[in-house]
């Protein structure tokens, strides 16, 4: 009887254990419907097209085909969690939910389930501390880096002196929009500028009060942490009050084509922070055209290639594919588990040589992920909108953010999280 029970237990364990996949499964928690679809669609297209390219051109990663499982979240946190629960049993290697709200809900779940969570440029910023967040990665940059990169740009154009300047932060009145406040307050102290905070309630369709206040108080610069309709309305309202567009700088989630196109010529000169390359002048996109679009396999109509959000999704997919390749090397097996994937992400090294091999020279920074640092280098550049050509152009090199300010904030926030949740620090 005891022998039979042991056999049953072994059988149960074998069936319950995550199956070694014959495909590398990358769920895409996307939003192609709802108020944020205009941003969600190009991102999801870029994410999917990169994996399709690998399948069609290279036969997958290490000879194993990739598989995208798309699940519609509508940018709704509850639906996002449902998508996670519904797809994690499919051999999911890593989640990229493209929502800070969903990220916060998934952090404890992925940690318990041993699946990595990838949140490039969004999510919980202090998850950059790998000592606390074993399964969460947000390389190559986070919100606090973005705040610092925006201020660095202001320093650049003001001869390194912001003393007495007035800077306003126009932000989505949500956890996402409030993310940069602490960093900007610290940077204001350090550089001596005055910071004014201007929250905008969801969805941001009506911003007259905020822009009348900007008109009254005449800040030298306005920074924006917006998403969806808030971005388009803000850019239009800035034009309405004749605020100099070159003094208006958005975070990367306020720097897509859908944000500037509705304002037409009035958006000319608007700037945004970016952590990846802009435009379609990269050799890899010729392959996308040949192997994906021309074969009718593109996730969308193929007309988003080179747009800011498509490129960001594409870049995220590339970094995940390289992590999977790394995981295969570490595990010595082409068929990997989520645990292997996590190890691959934590030991990821991206060099400029590799980026060039991939047809993406200077598309993003060279960097290494470590056990301690899941946030990458925190570098970024400034892009500017040319309304007549309808293109973004990089007007700065990829530069560093002020880690002297940011690292203590990351440490404080993540250590508080560790204390609240009785998490033992890793990487000792």
Partner 1 sequence: MPDQFLYAVEVIINGLMAGVLYALVALGFVLIFKASGIFNYAQGVMALFAAMTLVGIQKGQIPFAKLINTVMGTELEHFPWTVPVIPAIILAFGVMILFAIIVEKYILKHLVNQPEIILFMATIGLAYFMEGFGDIMWGPEIKKLDVGLPQGGSFWIEDMTIGLGGENFYGFFIDKLDMVATVVAILLVAALTIFSQYSKQGRALRAVADDHQAALSVGISLRFIWVLVWSIAGFVALVAGIMWGAKSGVQFSLSLIALKALPVLMLGGFTSIPGAIVGGLIIGVGEKLFEFSIGPLVGGATENWFAYVLALIFLVFRPQGLFGEKIIERV
247 HSE (CA, 13 A, CB side): 16
Cα dihedral value 208, 209, 213, 219, nearest 10: -50
Of 65 and 202, the one with the shorter C-beta distance to partner 1 is 202
Question: Which chain residues interact with partner 1 by CB under 8 A?
Answer: 32-35, 37-38, 41, 173, 197-201, 203-206, 208-210, 212-213, 215-216, 228-229, 232-233, 236-237, 239-242, 258, 261-262, 264, 266, 301
Of 34 and 279, the one with the shorter C-beta distance to partner 1 is 34
Smallest gap, in angstroms, from Cβ of residue 225 to partner 1? 13
The Cα–Cα gap between 35 and 49 comes to 23
The Cα–Cα gap between 88 and 113 comes to 9
The Cα–Cα gap between 372 and 231 comes to 35
Cα dihedral value 315, 38, 115, 362, nearest 10: 10
Smallest gap, in angstroms, from Cβ of residue 98 to partner 1? 16
Of 213 and 362, the one with the shorter C-beta distance to partner 1 is 213
Of 236 and 415, the one with the shorter C-beta distance to partner 1 is 236
Smallest gap, in angstroms, from Cβ of residue 238 to partner 1? 10
Smallest gap, in angstroms, from Cβ of residue 51 to partner 1? 21
The Cα–Cα gap between 354 and 51 comes to 17
Of 190 and 208, the one with the shorter C-beta distance to partner 1 is 208
Smallest gap, in angstroms, from Cβ of residue 308 to partner 1? 14
Smallest gap, in angstroms, from Cβ of residue 166 to partner 1? 13
171-175's contacts with Cβ under 8 Å and 24+ in sequence apart are 171/197, 171/198, 171/199, 171/200, 171/224, 171/225, 171/226, 172/199, 172/200, 172/202, 172/204, 172/225, 172/226, 172/227, 172/230, 173/199, 173/200, 173/201, 173/202, 174/101, 174/202, 175/100, 175/101, 175/104
Residue among 336, 283, 235, 286 nearest 22 (CA): 336
Of 107 and 169, the one with the shorter C-beta distance to partner 1 is 169
Smallest gap, in angstroms, from Cβ of residue 405 to partner 1? 23
Smallest gap, in angstroms, from Cβ of residue 194 to partner 1? 14
Do 127 and 414 form a contact (C-beta atoms < 8 A)? yes
Smallest gap, in angstroms, from Cβ of residue 144 to partner 1? 21
Q: Which two tokens stand for residue 418?
A: 């560790």
Q: Which two tokens stand for residue 302?
A: 């193929």
Of 72 and 413, the one with the shorter C-beta distance to partner 1 is 72
Smallest gap, in angstroms, from Cβ of residue 306 to partner 1? 15
Of 41 and 141, the one with the shorter C-beta distance to partner 1 is 41
Do 168 and 198 form a contact (C-beta atoms < 8 A)? yes
Of 128 and 267, the one with the shorter C-beta distance to partner 1 is 267
Q: Which two tokens stand for residue 332?
A: 């010595």
284: Cα separation from own chain's centroid: 20
Of 145 and 304, the one with the shorter C-beta distance to partner 1 is 304
Smallest gap, in angstroms, from Cβ of residue 289 to partner 1? 15
Of 239 and 316, the one with the shorter C-beta distance to partner 1 is 239
Q: Which helix (H) or strand (E) holds 90?
A: none
In the chain, the largest separation of any two C-alpha atoms, in whole Å, equals: 83
- For residue 20, the SS3 value is coil
Do 91 and 336 form a contact (C-beta atoms < 8 A)? no
């Amino acid at each position: 009887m005891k022998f039979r029970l042991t056999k049953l237990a072994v059988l149960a364990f074998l069936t319950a254990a995550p199956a070694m996949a014959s495909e590398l499964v990358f769920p895409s928690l996307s939003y192609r419907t709802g108020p944020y679809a205009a941003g969600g669609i190009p991102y999801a297209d870029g994410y999917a097209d990169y994996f399709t390219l690998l399948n069609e051109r290279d036969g997958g990663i290490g000879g194993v085909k990739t598989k995208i499982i798309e699940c519609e979240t509508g940018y709704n946190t509850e639906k996002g969690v449902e998508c996670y629960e519904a797809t994690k049993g499919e051999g999911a290697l890593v989640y990229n939910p493209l929502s800070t709200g969903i990220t916060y809900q998934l952090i404890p779940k992925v940690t318990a389930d041993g699946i990595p969570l990838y949140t490039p440029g969004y999510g919980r910023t202090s998850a950059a501390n790998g000592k606390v967040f074993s399964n969460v990665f947000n390389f190559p940059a986070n919100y606090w880096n973005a705040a610092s990169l925006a201020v660095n740009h202001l320093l650049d154009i003001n001869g390194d002196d912001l003393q007495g300047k007035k800077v306003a932060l126009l932000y989505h009145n949500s956890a996402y929009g409030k993310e940069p406040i602490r960093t900007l307050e610290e940077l204001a102290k350090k550089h001596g500028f005055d910071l004014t905070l201007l929250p905008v309630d969801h969805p941001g369709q009506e911003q007259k009060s905020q822009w009348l206040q900007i008109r009254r108080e005449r800040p030298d610069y306005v920074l924006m942490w917006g998403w969806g309709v808030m971005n388009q309305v803000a850019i239009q309202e800035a034009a309405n009050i004749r605020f100099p567009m070159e003094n208006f700088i958005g975070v990367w989630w306020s720097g897509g084509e859908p944000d500037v196109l509705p304002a037409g010529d009035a958006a000319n000169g608007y700037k945004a922070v970016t952590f990846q390359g802009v435009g379609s002048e990269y050799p890899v996109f010729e392959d996308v055209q040949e192997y994906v679009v021309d074969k009718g396999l593109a996730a969308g109509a193929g007309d988003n290639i080179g747009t800011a959000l498509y490129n960001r999704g594409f870049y995220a997919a590339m970094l995940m594919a390289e992590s999977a390749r790394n995981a295969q090397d570490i595990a010595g097996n082409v068929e990997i588990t989520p645990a292997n994937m996590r190890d691959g992400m934590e030991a990821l090294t991206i060099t400029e040589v590799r980026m060039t091999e991939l047809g993406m020279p200077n598309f993003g920074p060279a960097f290494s992920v470590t056990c301690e640092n899941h946030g990458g280098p925190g570098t970024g550049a400034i892009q500017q909108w040319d309304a007549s050509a309808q293109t973004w152009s990089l007007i700065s090199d990829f530069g560093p953010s002020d880690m002297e300010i940011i690292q203590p904030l990351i440490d404080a926030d993540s250590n508080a999280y560790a204390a609240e949740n009785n998490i033992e620090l890793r990487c000792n």
